[in-house]
Amino acid sequence: MTRTMSRAALALAALLLASACSDTTTPPPPPPPPDAAVRGVVTDALGRPAPGASIVLQLDSALVPGSEADKPQQGVRFDLGTGGHVHVWVTASCGQATIRTIIDTQLPSGTYIVFWNALDDLGRQAPDGMYRLHAVWDGGESSFEIILLGTHYDLLTPQQSIAAEAITDLQGAFRLETGCLPFGYTLPAYDESGLPIGQAEITRRVRVWAFRDGVVPAVSDWVTVDPEAGAVVAIGFAYKVLAM
């Protein structure tokens, strides 16, 4: 009995000694890195995960008091004296990926003005955000930023589709990076009659829309994106079905 108790006491002493060494030599885990993304979960009307939903952000803006409006550049104008090749395309603000090729062909002589209708090459609506229109023609080139703001996601018909910024996974989760969003960007503001009233600044307030075939789009509450912590939202679809 004495020998058994002695071994047990020795094992306990060794365990305590190992724990004490571990406590003094193992550094605490590092804090998690900042996560400025907008992330969340989409569910159906029964609270189940909704995989495969298309996710886009809606941006918000606020009028800058006392500001004057600048005339925005929405289209590109160029002259072809004897005709030539013209290439006009639109890229996303992140990665410079081409989302729409408007013109890439030979054109006869003349004066041209080209606009972008906010659709990508697949005919899908581009979401709120910053884009760049590029134009290269024989004798010149041009490039400028275009801000899409106030897209009426709720008015899209069942035949229209959205160019998703993210797709929910099997758990209905999504993640949207915010590093390329135009927070703080200023642009002209107009009243209900279309008259310029100054400048508006894009704020850090956003809300998230979710789209699924045959179901009325769902939207989150407005949230403010923290520069380090980002934002977390929850979105739930209803049973209401769109008329096809």
Q: Does residue 19 lie in a domain region?
A: no
Please indicate, yes or no, if residue 20 is contained in any of the structural domains: no
Residue 104 maps to a domain: yes
CATH number of the domain enclosing 224: 2.60.40.4070
Provide mean pLDDT across the span 215-231. Answer: 94
pTM comes to 0.80
| Overall number of domains in the chain | 1
pLDDT classification of 15: cutoffs 50, 70, 90: very low
Phi-psi region of 123 (alpha: psi -120 to 50; beta: other; left: phi over 0): left
Asked if residue 164 is part of any domain, the answer here is: yes
Whether residue 132 is contained in a domain is answered as yes
Instruction: Specify if 23 maps to a domain.
Output: no
The reply to whether 11 falls in a domain is no
Q: What is the mean pLDDT of the chain?
A: 83
Strand order in the sheet with 84-92: 98-107, 84-92, 129-137, 140-148
Secondary structure string (H, E, C) spanning 135-183: EEECCEEEEEEEEECCCCHHHCCCCCCECCCEECCCCCEEEECCCCCCC
Q: What pLDDT, on a 0 to 100 scale, did the predictor assign at position 157?
A: 75
| Domain encompassing residue 159 | 33-236
- The verdict on residue 97 lying in a domain is yes
pLDDT at residue 21 in the model = 45
